[in-house]
């Protein structure tokens, strides 16, 4: 009989490791919930053209990595390779921009899919927390998102990450730089695919990670030298706001990231403990994306932070998160009457907000106590026929080993006091 395995390049999240991922998701999202961002959830697949137009037809994501397929009805769909285009599409479809409160501030959490060569820190399905602020062109908004991401990482105990910052200009100054870059790149010894990319979007060549390409890029013109006065002033305001907030960053004139829709502010969070896959998150401003996908002009900015990469960064720094136990109380019944009574106790504990579990399957005392210890519970509630005849249960502290008799009707209140509830 065939034993099925998870598809290549994917992974399963199982206890106890899954508890860390949940804690990381909560920590990355917490600053957003406290800053006016509302939760949005979009389908796991979208129309192919949404990503082709938004992410960019010349990007590796669209040309090589996107999971695209045709439905039985003839629709061309793709598993979402990133979150921004989907969130903006959802906001436009619901006309959120017309409700009078701009920017529309949204956050999301989910899995994304890219057909990549699997390696540590780079999977074919991955988890992200993202944030988008739609409909406002304001350097304070750019700074806010960078500061919130910095706050989220630091709340987890991360310290060895860096923030790289750049400006990609706008529709006024980018074309001038594009022409200068194309002239430089056309003189290099590059393969045909890369040469085609020069004509479609030359900035993608700067993002090429191959050493043979990077060696030839020495001396390439820098976008910062071509920024118009408006873009220079905007970028300087972002830099000043970050400095005033005490957020350290590094200017990186070659930072372009892998998506075509970015304009002006672009940033990346990197962790040097992760080797070649050093990026743990990033984002930027995308003032023209709404128009690319058929919407009105809505200048916007956002980011996505990798949950998987953040967990790896925590491991690289040796940071252990303090996670609450999945179970605080474990009930061990001896006999049918005790099963009914202790199941009622467990139900009452849960209704009181106390995590409780039960020795299912009629196990003996020795086996049930092993389960109680493995559960991580602080207390075990044990009862047999003699205990119940006396109207009590045994409450055992699994950390100290101390045990005492407690009246059945008082055990929930007693445990609540012991746990500080």
Q: Where do the DSSP E strands lie in 138-188?
A: 161-167
Q: Domain check: are 352 and 303 in the same one?
A: no
User: CA 244 to CA 150: how far, in whole Å?
Assistant: 14
Considering the domain architecture, whether residues 161 and 73 belong to the same structural domain is answered as yes
**CATH code of the domain covering residue 76:** 3.30.930.10
345 with 375, same domain: the answer is yes
Domain encompassing residue 413: 329-418
The answer to whether 396 and 373 have CB atoms below 8 angstroms apart is no
Q: Report the pLDDT value the prediction gives residue 59, as an integer from 0 to 100.
A: 64
Closest CA to 266 of 292, 293, 234: 234
Are 158 and 259 found together in one domain?
yes
Is the pLDDT reported for residue 415 higher than 80? yes
Asked whether residue 392 carries a pLDDT value surpassing 70, the answer given is: yes
Q: Within this chain, do residues 123 and 160 fall inside the same structural domain, yes or no? A: yes
Rounded to whole angstroms, the Cα distance separating 177 from 214 reads: 19
End position of a domain, from candidates 296, 317, 338? 317
The reported pLDDT for the residue numbered 391 is 93
Tell me: the pLDDT tens digits for 306-331?
A: 999 999 999 999 999 998 888 999 99
DSSP of 84-108 = HHHHHHHHHHTTGGGSS-SSEEEEE
162 and 301 part of one domain: yes
pTM: 0.89
Would strands 250-251 and 76-79 be described as parallel, antiparallel, or unpaired? unpaired
Q: Assess whether pLDDT exceeds 90 at residue 339.
A: yes
Percentage of the chain modeled with pLDDT above 70: 97
Q: Are residues 29 and 134 in the same domain?
A: yes
Number of domains in the chain: 2
The 10s digit of each residue's pLDDT in 131-186 is 999 999 999 999 999 999 999 999 999 999 999 999 999 988 888 888 898 899 89
Is residue 56 predicted with pLDDT exceeding 80? no
333 and 399 fall within a common domain: yes
pLDDT at residue 60, as a whole number: 65
Do 286 and 373 belong together in one domain?
A: no
What is the DSSP secondary structure assignment for residue 156, as one 8-state letter? T
Domain CATH code at residue 351: 3.40.50.800
- Beta strands 279-285 and 329-333: pairing type? unpaired
Same domain, 313 and 335: no
Segment 274-286 shows an average pLDDT of 88
CA 53 to chain centroid, in Å, comes to 24
């Amino acid at each position: 009989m065939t034993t099925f395995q998870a598809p290549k390049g994917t992974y399963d999240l199982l206890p106890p490791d899954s508890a860390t991922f949940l804690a990381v998701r909560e920590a990355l999202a917490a600053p957003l919930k406290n800053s006016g961002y509302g939760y949005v959830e979009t389908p796991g697949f979208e129309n192919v053209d949404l990503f082709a137009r938004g992410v960019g037809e010349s990007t590796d994501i669209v040309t090589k990595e996107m999971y695209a397929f045709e439905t039985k009805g003839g629709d061309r769909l793709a598993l979402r390779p990133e979150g921004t285009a989907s969130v903006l599409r959802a906001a436009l479809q619901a006309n959120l921009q017309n409700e009078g409160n701009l920017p529309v501030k949204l956050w999301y959490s989910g899995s994304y899919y890219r057909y990549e060569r699997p390696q540590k820190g780079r999977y074919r399905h991955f988890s992200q927390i993202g944030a988008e602020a739609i409909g406002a062109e304001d350097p304070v908004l750019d700074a806010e998102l960078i500061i919130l991401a910095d706050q989220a990482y630091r709340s987890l105990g991360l310290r060895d990450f860096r923030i790289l910052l750049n400006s990609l200009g706008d529709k006024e100054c980018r074309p001038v730089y594009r022409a200068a870059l194309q002239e430089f790149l056309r003189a290099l010894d590059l393969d045909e695919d890369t040469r085609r990319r020069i004509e479609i979007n030359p900035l993608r060549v700067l993002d090429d990670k191959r050493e043979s390409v990077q060696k030839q890029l020495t001396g390439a013109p820098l976008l910062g030298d071509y920024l118009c006065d408006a873009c220079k002033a905007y970028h300087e305001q972002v830099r000043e706001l970050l400095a005033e907030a005490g957020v350290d960053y590094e200017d990186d004139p070659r930072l372009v990231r892998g998506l075509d829709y970015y304009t002006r502010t672009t940033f990346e969070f990197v962790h040097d403990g992760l080797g070649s896959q050093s990026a743990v998150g990033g984002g930027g401003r995308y003032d023209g994306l709404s128009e690319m996908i058929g919407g009105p002009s809505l200048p916007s900015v956002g980011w996505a932070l990798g949950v998987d990469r953040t967990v790896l960064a925590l491991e690289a720094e040796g940071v252990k998160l303090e996670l609450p136990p999945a179970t605080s109380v474990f009930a061990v019944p001896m006999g049918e009457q005790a099963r009914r009574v202790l199941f009622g106790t467990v139900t009452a504990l849960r209704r009181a907000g106390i995590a409780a579990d039960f020795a299912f399957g009629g196990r003996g005392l020795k086996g049930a106590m092993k389960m109680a210890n493995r559960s991580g519970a602080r207390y075990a509630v044990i009862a047999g026929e003699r205990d119940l005849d006396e109207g009590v249960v045994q409450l055992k502290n699994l950390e100290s080993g101390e045990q005492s008799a407690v009246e059945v009707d008082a055990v929930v209140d007693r445990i609540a006091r012991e746990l500080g509830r």
